[in-house]
Structure 1
């Protein structure tokens, strides 16, 4: 385990008000709304007038009972139905109390349930494995058996863990017509290992935020194996079975209507693996991308506050389950929120529709101090340069860290306070032994970075087993910087003193670099977010061989 990893929150959803959600659920059952805010009280009264609310148990797989709540319309007419598996939290289905009530008021029969191993449900958490998929299907059967009239079309909706389960149930159950998955993963293997690099802080967060949940022995062992740097092949096999991306053919064959939402600076489920799933879907699909971190953009909606993501999710289900002519079918498939203007950009493709790729070569030092650059940094230049070397010392923390606090850093971004980086410290000559940096020319006009930046770089590792993290930053004239995107890379097989070629995708982004600002590329051998394969005090020497020059490709919208 990495002792210097960023702080692990006790919840993946730190902004959720458990007291308020519990009070809302209690009012749904009793009808007493005296203690609720006026808006929430009105929602309870409207839902109770339209549907019958009850709490009970769903008979899950193997006889395990799952805590659940049912919003059931009593009229005999046909209507659609939605099932909501709970997030990774001891709140269980209560996290959905407000949103499930809103769906019931819109005419849906609704079942929200607490997934196995959490809250008041029996069993052990299977991390969206076969037991969870079977539970989801049983929850749907529970709802269908209690519907007063015919059920027309069926959807699943979930946040985070519940989103992943919803996608997997939709892939396995032909009765499911649409799914809204907010903050889901696509490839769980890439959640555990990104470019062969252990995502240690993300795994620590999953374990820490499970709280009092009862994890299955296989789940607990797999997550602990990742932290202990053992059994990678077994962990990836475990993850494959739990990855919606492994079932793309089934989604496409049945044309399941899939709505996804995600955050650009997601630390728990990195964006590219979810975008990869989205790109492979050929049926009806929609993707909302927002500023922030894991489920930050969705948390406000769980509390009943205005949320564009939840509005789009409701519209998606209304259209595909109710046939509502709300214009969804004519809208762009991708709606991206731009950092940091928060402007919304619709597009037909992902990434960089109608754009181009700008290639910038990594070159030697350019003496940029005093001109808004960084003394001792290399340059990002239009032509390659060979024969230079930039050394990086392993085992040392640097100012270039992905996040100070997993999940919580994203809430600062949502509030308009992205983490400031000391650009002059990251890439200056005084830091040359622990980072390597390359600085671009000042932007003559706003540089609209849209999509997946790609890095090709060659380095020599003194030891077998090496890791580095690449950061792309926006460097302001005053020397401060903001993170645009990043990615790790590990080589675990090359012999000592080998030249290693790294071709990596940085995480996708939508970022406007203002006029006069510079792109700053930084490489460091250690980031507390990741488990690295380096030996302490070893060195990585970055270079650019003539046959294969090192370069950064920036997608420009």
Structure 2
């Protein structure tokens, strides 16, 4: 809904819908009081051990200027130092720093001094939400100053790391780019280019913005932040919003990280809906220093969420190993270095959890993780048929036309975040592809595959379209379809044409979102183009048509990276 203060959500949304907040609060209380009676035996033992080796302080107020204080908690290791430091800016959530409680105490037991804080505008922190603006970057440095003073001053500390999940991950990268004291970063469910996350191929990510507004329903947004979100939803002031987003994008400060060769660990979900994977991959590939990228099944923050409540979690395990290597090892902790180096795949830059078998693939670089491109050419429907084909040779001279303005069962997901949690539980969404109305979508299907196809990387679509309107939006989906016509989504991407000449063919290239997916032998690949998806804002409200064709001189094709 829209109010005098701008667009506000109808309901509060959690980016951690399955997180047990009370369990985290109980851990924090037990750390403070020593009363572990409400904790499980394993967690009670962790808390007791932490209290033996570290001092825990919550309710800490970190002054950051202009009368603003950040709500924070500190874990100070008691053994003689120097000790490395970790600063943890909070996610985009009302719970603030408490989401890090379990992992922070684990870092403290390992020998780190830790400060976790709630970002400005959220929870008990002062100020207004600036979406990783200059004030947030300065806040990170001020929080580090505070932790250094609590640890005994510059002469009493070791190397310094920043770790964040979601919102805190972007802030962590930006602080590391600007503050030369930061030696390593862990960025979980992160962004590299915020502009691309809001406007992918000139298409507005309206569901993402609505979800962010819902998750910040109790926060205090600055006037500029509210305007940026409102502008995306209202389809206005695009250039100004992209400039605003660029200032908040680590990608545009990557050279500063490269100048100091700052090690960065990324973790991302294949079906990430808030910050799609390609823009994080772009940031990863822009870095020249030590780096590592973990791909997982699911959606935003889902793969790492179980670790927040203390369950075994490979992403958090990697985060600990990353800091052990780049912070502890530099302090002369050879045992930590050896533990990291002997762990399987520890030297590799890319580790992928493949959909849906959950097998882990470890590769030394992104280039080594990416498959070789294989083309499937789009063809027209066979006589009496409705679907085009995906063949190994071009067949030109055909055209397919579908109407715009009507949604079809081809969608990104049923619900943002929650569909990803179902994927994590082994229940990916099933699409009944026979129910896709071919008058409202273009559909192209391959023959049954003779062997397993391992898609690794960024599929690409080159296609010639002729919309009836000057502005037109469509979404390309790639499905894995079994013999019964039941599909699972592999990847997708939206695309918007602005200011084109109506009915004039335009050839475009679309990078679908990065994927790691195995298609079984006997299954088919299915490409679907339609014009409506609740996740995206259309360029025009007026229904029309889109005609797809394949010129002789430039045939339309789908290119998939096969390993």
Shift of the alpha carbon at 1:391?
1.1
Q: Does the CA-based 8 Å contact 1:180-1:260 persist in structure 2? A: yes
Q: CA distance change for structure 1 residues 287 and 96 in 2, over 3 Å: closer, same or farther?
A: same
Q: Which residue of the partner structure matches residue 265 of structure 1?
A: 271
Cα shift readout 1:342-382 (whole Å, capped 9, x = no counterpart): 000011222564731101111011369xxxxxx52100011
Within the alignment, does 1:435 sit opposite 2:441 as a pair? yes
Q: Which residue of the partner structure matches residue 547 of structure 1?
A: 553
Q: Does the CA-based 8 Å contact 1:459-1:541 persist in structure 2? A: yes
Shift of the alpha carbon at 1:25?
0.7
Q: Does the CA-based 8 Å contact 1:392-1:525 persist in structure 2? A: no
- Aligned-residue CA RMSD (Å): 1.7
> Is the deviation greater in 256-265 or in 27-36?
27-36
Task: Quote the Cα distance in structure 2 between the aligned partners of 1:183 and 1:8.
Answer: 23
Q: Which residue of the partner structure matches residue 333 of structure 2?
A: none
Q: Which residue of the partner structure matches residue 43 of structure 1?
A: 46
Task: Quote the Cα distance in structure 2 between the aligned partners of 1:42 and 1:244.
Answer: 39
Cα shift readout 1:425-449 (whole Å, capped 9, x = no counterpart): 22xxxx2210101001111111001
Q: Which residue of the partner structure matches residue 417 of structure 2?
A: 407
Within the alignment, does 1:52 sit opposite 2:55 as a pair? yes
> Is the deviation greater in 288-297 or in 535-544?
535-544
Task: Quote the Cα distance in structure 1 between the aligned partners of 2:367 and 2:559.
Answer: 13
Shift of the alpha carbon at 1:493?
2.0
Q: Does the CA-based 8 Å contact 2:254-2:287 persist in structure 1? A: yes
Q: Which residue of the partner structure matches residue 386 of structure 2?
A: 376
Within the alignment, does 1:349 sit opposite 2:352 as a pair? no
Q: Which residue of the partner structure matches residue 518 of structure 2?
A: 512
Q: Which residue of the partner structure matches residue 21 of structure 1?
A: 24
Cα shift readout 1:302-349 (whole Å, capped 9, x = no counterpart): 111110000001000000000021217952100000000000001122
Q: Does the CA-based 8 Å contact 1:454-1:505 persist in structure 2? A: yes
Within the alignment, does 1:174 sit opposite 2:174 as a pair? no
User: What SS does the aligned partner of 1:153 have?
Assistant: strand
Task: Quote the Cα distance in structure 2 between the aligned partners of 1:492 and 1:452.
Answer: 24
Q: Which residue of the partner structure matches residue 143 of structure 1?
A: 147
1:251 pairs, out of 247, 257, 264, with 257
Q: Which residue of the partner structure matches residue 123 of structure 2?
A: 119
Instruction: Write out aligned runs for 1:445-524 (5 A).
Output: 445-524=451-530
Shift of the alpha carbon at 1:9?
6.8
**TM-score by structure 1 length?**
0.95
Q: CA distance change for structure 1 residues 205 and 351 in 2, over 3 Å: closer, same or farther?
A: farther
Name structure 1 gaps, 5 residues minimum: 369-374
2:33 pairs, out of 16, 30, 44, with 30
Task: Quote the Cα distance in structure 2 between the aligned partners of 1:180 and 1:531.
Answer: 32
Q: After the TM superposition, which segments of 4 or more aligned residues of structure 1 sit over 3 Å from their partners? A: 6-9, 351-355
Task: Quote the Cα distance in structure 2 between the aligned partners of 1:367 and 1:265.
Answer: 36
Shift of the alpha carbon at 1:458?
0.7
Shift of the alpha carbon at 1:496?
2.1
Task: Quote the Cα distance in structure 1 between the aligned partners of 2:417 and 2:538.
Answer: 21
Shift of the alpha carbon at 1:22?
0.9
Instruction: Write out aligned runs for 1:130-209 (5 A).
Output: 130-148=134-152, 150-209=156-215
Task: Quote the Cα distance in structure 2 between the aligned partners of 1:482 and 1:330.
Answer: 32
User: What SS does the aligned partner of 1:553 have?
Assistant: strand
Q: Which residue of the partner structure matches residue 73 of structure 1?
A: 77
Name structure 2 gaps, 5 residues minimum: 3-8, 330-335
Cα shift readout 1:95-138 (whole Å, capped 9, x = no counterpart): 11111011001000000001100000000011000000000000
Q: CA distance change for structure 1 residues 534 and 498 in 2, over 3 Å: closer, same or farther?
A: farther
